[in-house]
Amino acid sequence: MAEKYTAATYVAAITAGEADRRARKAFQDLVLRIATPGAVLFDFGAGPGLDARFYAEHGFTVAAYDVDPQMQQYFHAHCLDLIRQERVTLAGGAYPEFVASDTVPGGHPIELVTSNFAPLNLIEDLQPLFARLHRITTPGAAVLASVLSPYFLGDMKYGWWWRNAFNLWRAGRYSVAGAKGPIVRRSLAAFARASQPHFRLERVFPGAPSLPGYAHGIDVSQGGGRAWVQLTKAQYMFLLFRKCARTA
């Protein structure tokens, strides 16, 4: 019998593999490089709170959101001391209500939005999310998101990759079935389109420090070009979006 899915089993799964641990650390290290010391961060799709706790312990004020009640419960227990100190806040509720709201999570202007371990891959239409993030962030704010790379050569061993390769080339995206709904993989160009006119895709980082391009990122502000070639050896890619001054 398959093990019942819980927040605890999820945590066990994402912390068991060396590759996942390295990817999480690489993302966290990038946040420390990008964020202004003491900044207010918003952790979207915060899951069990592993990242939120890390950020708060490194001097940031953290507001977080997750739609899953089990994740919220685990998060609350994992970050209880920091919540009591008002260094971390957690919001839940249905996703449509979240994107429609103008309330600033945590009540403080947000300078950096983080989203680790691919929450953006679970969202069919990203434009309402970027519009929401534009409304709650400060001028010049950024979004740093870890997403599944559609260019990862390690996925070529799966039939679903080959079945969807043409869709990626033609439409810049494809969906595969996941445990909690469709998982949408997008090209760099598709992410850039989805973020406009609210944010501009500025740089992309391969999801491993050992790979070329991780140290400074790859400038894709003028278009992706052949940036995808440097993203074939990592399961994740880290996308840095910069807030646009105005929206149409």
Give me the pLDDT at residue 1, please.
39
Please determine, for residue 7, whether its predicted confidence score (pLDDT) is greater than 50: yes
Which range (39-53, 80-94, 124-138, 234-248) has the least confidence? Answer: 234-248
pTM exceeding the 0.85 threshold for the entire prediction = yes
Give 125-153 pLDDT, tens digit per residue: 999 999 999 999 999 999 999 999 999 99
Residues with Cβ within 8 Å of residue 162, at least 6 apart in sequence:
156
Give me the pLDDT at residue 204, please.
97
Which range (11-15, 40-44, 63-67) has the least confidence? Answer: 11-15
Q: What ranges do the domains of the chain cover?
A: 7-149+187-243
Give 143-193 pLDDT, tens digit per residue: 999 999 999 999 999 999 999 999 999 999 999 998 878 999 999 999 999
Write out the two tokens for 211. 């790979």
Write out the two tokens for 139. 């001028």
Cα 24 to Cα 146: distance, rounded to the nearest angstrom:
9
Please determine, for residue 211, whether its predicted confidence score (pLDDT) is greater than 80: yes
Write out the two tokens for 123. 């969202």
Inter-residue contact 241 to 145 (CB < 8 Å):
yes
Cα radius of gyration (the chain):
17
CATH 3.40.50.970 fits 7-149+187-243, yes or no: no
Cα 156 to Cα 158: distance, rounded to the nearest angstrom:
5
Give me the pLDDT at residue 178, please.
87
- How much of the chain exceeds pLDDT 70, in percent? 97
Cα 67 to Cα 10: distance, rounded to the nearest angstrom:
15
Burial tier of 158 (Cβ tally within 10 Å: 0-12, 13-18, 19+): exposed
Cα 122 to Cα 47: distance, rounded to the nearest angstrom:
13
Cα 23 to Cα 16: distance, rounded to the nearest angstrom:
12
